[in-house]
């Protein structure tokens, strides 16, 4: 009966705003509750099942439009409705606005078979000016001849709760103890949840407000808020752009390999062609995404659309805020998202976990067919890591070397010392990044792929790779004697000339890999070690120059010191350092060039072996990871914003990091096995992500959007904070320390397909996932306990501590029990105790997810806020029937029905079953 609120709002108010109508006496926010008394049914011997439909008069069109309706209260002449009515702030309600209430007796919920009882009208001014802002109206029958009862309208004031504030609600209805709920598209005007910081990333919020009775007969206010996130689209678009850039760089690196034999050159051309196809596909997807306008989420009915495959399904934030008398408000957040999976590509051959396993086993046979060396996933990952280190460190070393010369030019001792320390650290990282036999073996393989390769029979085993001289830790002390084997003895030379300096470190320069001659396997050792030798010479000369400068100052009378300093040639230090610094840069460039080509050749061989399906799998993995990262970024931002004033949380954040706990309700049967395999890989890949907090340039929403950088093996997500928020976080966070995330996944299927899997199929995938992720969660807790005081963790009412909860969870994951949902409850509880980020998923985050979220919220109210046992089922049904989750269903499929049928629900655990009349066969 009720129209969708968002659509109705646009229809009711959109045209009038565009027409330039000026509204006066506008009411910023209006919420009211409803109750009926003394209803008279057509059949006077039965009590009605009552529903009230609410309509508002369009002041422009002078017509009534349905706005919302209450839930159905069964079998009473004096119904007190759980569902109230709210006109959100963006609706220009006037004091003159007329509201009509129509009361119906519903005989059949599923068929919407109802009988009209009566109606009443009132203006907003009538309510606002009435005593206690409460009015009682007579209900008139359709022929307007008789009264059929009364309806009581009470304005809801969403301020601080007082103990006796709601006593009037049950004064005349002692036998019926119910909660009150009022609905709104926005929070109240004093609600800080949707300030500038939150509104930059979270859009189109829906709010429901309830009042429930506690065990001590007091009242608590519960606000349930759901919102879309702009990150649903901005994160995937950034990732696609990064993929395009990375693949374009890979093509250029393949071209830069130089001349290859005809066999390898043909293979290279084929690989480049495949990369070009992927790039074009990603560019088309990006172009289509840039055209999109409208909502900030992908509805479940679009999960298999090609151009939306990178977008997470139905990503929403869900926050429950609980206010009790004389207590601090409590917040509970959940991110709901469809299982990260490649729905467009399908699941006929399984998901990523199975496909990757099969691909690795087949890759060995392909490597033989294509005359390639087989490299394990760890080796190819190492090759990508080396390439990433090279791209980061080489330009940094070059920049620091130039800064060192500039400091020498200025004869700035402090700048010289600090710059040399940074240069030594980065050069040491560079050298150790290449200290791997993989580089050496890849160089030999690349040599073998050159035209005119001459094989050499090895008569001895080459010596192991070792650094010829130990790298200096840092130039933290001056005057240290350099190793004579590394550099010419600076103590024996007063003024080394250019030829002598170069002779100490310059090696024989030649092609990266010699063509048409035998390959000297020890050459790489010499070239690699030359970097360390060059750096040691630079350090030695800087130490000597500083020592000479100190000696000159000590031996010169004070009155003549200024004359001595000015008499020195300012460029003298630079002239002495320039040859050694140039040699260091040349060595770094040569070593980097060789290492880059060798690692690129490894990736070429992997791509060659992958030609049948490898790039297809990479695309699938990109899609799944994009969905997972979007959800994680949304959850991280939500958790960070909530904890900005929590010193314990911020300490935990930079010392250890946060756990991100994903709850999945997928079955281990049919296509959902593939979805779960995709999801497992996508969640695991989040280990490659770190977060950094930065200071935003301004409070403009565009400046507050997270920024993703990096490559497929490692991503960084920068979270900008406004200046006011940035200034209150610890210095470690202000300095941009990388923040770790520990993703864990727990899955328990609950539907009828899981029943089949448990009785006739295989649930080993679910068991393995739960056991493996329990070990990760347990390890995180041990690390957290060692590094963070227990006082930093939140306090809860329940007595069981985290260690006991983990022991119970460990027992449950190894227990053979059908649909053991206690695993999910325990994992969620532990996550909250550890300040973690909670996620809940099913195929579309719409139906099973709604059952889980509402159950968790009511369990929190019971365990942490003393929700009366008599109210638990009522609260659960209220949230499922009239709360945010049914609005989520409406947003996705344009229908207020969960996609269950009665036979399916018979297989569900009882606490996951929706109330009667809220489910049916729909296209989801």
Q: Which residues are catalytic?
A: 842
> What is the side-by-side strand order in the sheet with 134-140?
63-69, 50-58, 98-108, 113-123, 134-140, 147-155, 30-37, 85-87
- Burial string for 79-93 (b: 16+ CB within 10 Å, else e) reads bbbbbbbbbbbebbb
Residue 134 and residue 152 in contact, taking contact as beta carbons nearer than 8 Å? yes
How far is residue 866's CA from residue 797's CA, in Å, rounded to a whole number? 9
How far is residue 611's CA from residue 697's CA, in Å, rounded to a whole number? 45
Question: Among candidates 626, 628, 636, 638, which has minimal Cα distance to 226?
Answer: 638
The owner of tokens 């209805």 is 173
Q: How far is C-alpha 540 from the chain's CA centre? A: 48
3-state secondary structure labels for all residues of 747-805? ECCCCHHHHHHHHHCCCHHHHHHHHHHHHHHHHHHHHHHHHCCHHHCCCCCCCCCHHHH
How far is residue 667's CA from residue 663's CA, in Å, rounded to a whole number? 12
* Residue 143: HSE in the Cβ half-sphere, 13 Å Cα cutoff: 2
Q: Which residues contact 418 (CB under 8 A, 6 or more apart)?
A: none
Alpha helices in 292-370 (DSSP H): 352-369
DSSP annotation of 226 reads E
Q: Work out whether strand 739-747 and strand 658-664 pair parallel, antiparallel, or are unpaired.
A: parallel
Residue 848 and residue 673 in contact, taking contact as beta carbons nearer than 8 Å? no
DSSP per position, 488-507? --GGG-SS--HHHHHHHHPP
Instruction: Identify the three-state secondary structure at position 408.
Output: helix
**Strand intervals (E) in 559-706:** 658-664, 689-695
How far is residue 228's CA from residue 284's CA, in Å, rounded to a whole number? 25
Burial class (CB in 10 A: 0-12, 13-18, 19+), 820: middle
């Amino acid at each position: 009966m009720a129209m969708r609120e968002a659509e109705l709002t646009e229809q009711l108010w959109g045209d009038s705003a565009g027409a330039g109508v000026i509204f006066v006496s506008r009411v910023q926010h209006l919420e009211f509750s409803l109750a009926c008394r003394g209803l008279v049914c057509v059949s006077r011997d039965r009590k009605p099942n009552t529903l009230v439909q609410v309509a508002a008069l369009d002041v422009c069109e002078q017509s009534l439009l349905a706005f919302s309706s209450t839930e159905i209260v069964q079998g009473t002449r004096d119904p007190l409705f759980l569902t109230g009515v709210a006109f959100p702030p963006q609706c220009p309600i006037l004091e003159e606005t007329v509201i009509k209430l129509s009361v119906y007796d519903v005989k059949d919920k599923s068929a919407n078979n109802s009988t009209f009882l009566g109606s009443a009208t009132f203006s907003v001014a009538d309510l606002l000016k009435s005593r206690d802002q409460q009015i009682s109206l007579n209900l008139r029958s359709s022929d307007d001849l008789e009264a059929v009862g009364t309806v009581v309208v009470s304005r809801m004031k969403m301020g601080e709760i007082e103990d006796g504030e709601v006593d009037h609600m049950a004064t005349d209805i002692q036998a019926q103890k119910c909660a009150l709920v009022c609905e709104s598209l926005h929070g109240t005007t004093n609600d800080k949840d949707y300030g500038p910081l939150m509104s930059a990333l979270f859009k189109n919020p829906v709010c429901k407000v309830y009042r429930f009775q506690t065990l001590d007969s007091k009242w608590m206010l519960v606000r349930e808020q759901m919102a879309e996130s702009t990150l649903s689209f901005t994160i995937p678009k950034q990732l696609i752009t990064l993929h395009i850039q990375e693949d374009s760089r890979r093509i250029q690196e393949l071209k830069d390999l130089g001349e290859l034999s005809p066999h390898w050159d043909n293979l290279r051309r084929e690989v480049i062609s495949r990369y070009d196809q992927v790039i074009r596909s990603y560019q088309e997807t990006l172009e289509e995404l840039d055209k999109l306008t409208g909502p900030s989420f992908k509805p479940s009915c679009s999960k298999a659309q090609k151009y939306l495959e990178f977008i997470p399904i139905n990503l929403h934030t869900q926050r429950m805020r609980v206010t009790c008398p004389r207590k601090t408000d409590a917040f509970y957040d959940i991110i709901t998202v469809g299982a990260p999976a490649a729905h467009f590509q399908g699941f006929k051959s399984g998901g990523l976990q199975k496909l990757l396993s099969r691909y690795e086993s087949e890759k060995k046979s392909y490597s033989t067919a294509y005359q390639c060396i087989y490299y394990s996933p760890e080796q190819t990952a190492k090759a990508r890591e080396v390439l990433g280190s090279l791209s980061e460190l080489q330009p940094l070393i070059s920049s620091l070397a130039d800064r060192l010369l500039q400091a020498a030019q200025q004869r700035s001792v402090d700048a010289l010392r600090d710059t040399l320390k940074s240069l030594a650290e980065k050069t040491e990282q560079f050298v150790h990044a290449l200290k791997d036999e993989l580089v050496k073996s890849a160089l030999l393989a690349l040599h073998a792929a050159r035209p005119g390769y001459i094989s050499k029979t090895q008569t001895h085993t080459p010596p192991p790779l070792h650094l010829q001289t130990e790298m200096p830790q840092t130039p933290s002390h001056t005057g240290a004697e350099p190793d004579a084997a590394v550099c010419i003895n600076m103590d024996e030379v007063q003024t080394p000339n250019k030829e002598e300096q170069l002779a100490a470190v310059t090696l024989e320069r030649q092609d990266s890999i010699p063509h048409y001659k035998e390959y000297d396997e020890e050459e790489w050792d010499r070239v690699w070690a030359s970097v360390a030798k060059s750096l040691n010479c630079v350090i030695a000369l800087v130490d000597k120059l500083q020592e000479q400068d100190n000696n000159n100052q000590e031996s010169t009378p004070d009155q003549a010191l200024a004359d001595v300093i000015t008499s020195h040639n300012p460029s003298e230090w630079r002239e002495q350092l320039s040859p050694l610094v140039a040699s260091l840069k040349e060595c770094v460039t040569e070593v980097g060039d060789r290492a880059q080509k060798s690692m690129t050749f490894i990736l070429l061989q992997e791509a060659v072996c992958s030609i049948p399906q490898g790039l297809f799998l990479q695309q699938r993995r990109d899609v799944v990871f994009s969905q997972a990262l979007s959800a994680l970024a949304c959850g991280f931002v939500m958790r960070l914003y909530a904890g900005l004033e929590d010193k314990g949380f911020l300490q935990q954040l930079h010392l250890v990091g946060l756990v991100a706990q994903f709850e999945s309700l997928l079955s281990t049967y049919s296509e959902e096995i593939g979805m779960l395999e995709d999801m497992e890989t996508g969640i695991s890949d989040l280990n490659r992500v770190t977060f950094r907090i930065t200071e935003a340039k301004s409070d403009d929403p565009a400046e507050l959007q997270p920024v993703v950088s990096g490559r497929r093996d490692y991503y960084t997500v920068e979270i900008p904070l406004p200046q006011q928020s940035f200034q209150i976080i610890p210095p470690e966070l202000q300095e941009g320390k990388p923040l770790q995330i520990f993703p864990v996944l727990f899955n328990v299927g609950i539907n009828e397909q899981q029943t089949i899997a448990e009785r006739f199929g295989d649930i080993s995938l679910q068991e393995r996932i739960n056991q493996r992720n329990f070990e990760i969660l347990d390890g995180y807790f041990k690390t957290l306990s060692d590094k963070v005081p227990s006082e930093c963790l939140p306090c809860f009412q329940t007595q069981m501590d985290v260690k006991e909860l983990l022991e119970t969870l460990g027992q449950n994951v190894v227990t053979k029990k059908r649909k053991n949902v206690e695993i999910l409850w325990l994992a969620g509880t532990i996550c909250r105790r550890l300040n973690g980020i909670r996620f809940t998923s099913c195929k579309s985050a719409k139906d099973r997810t709604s059952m889980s979220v509402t159950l968790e919220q009511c369990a929190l109210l019971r365990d942490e806020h003393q929700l009366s046992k008599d109210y638990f089922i009522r609260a659960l049904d209220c949230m499922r029937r009239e709360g945010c989750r049914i609005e989520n269903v409406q947003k996705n499929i344009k229908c207020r029905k969960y996609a269950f049928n009665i036979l399916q629900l018979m297989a569900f655990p009882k606490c996951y079953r929706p109330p009667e009349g809220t489910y049916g066969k729909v296209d989801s």
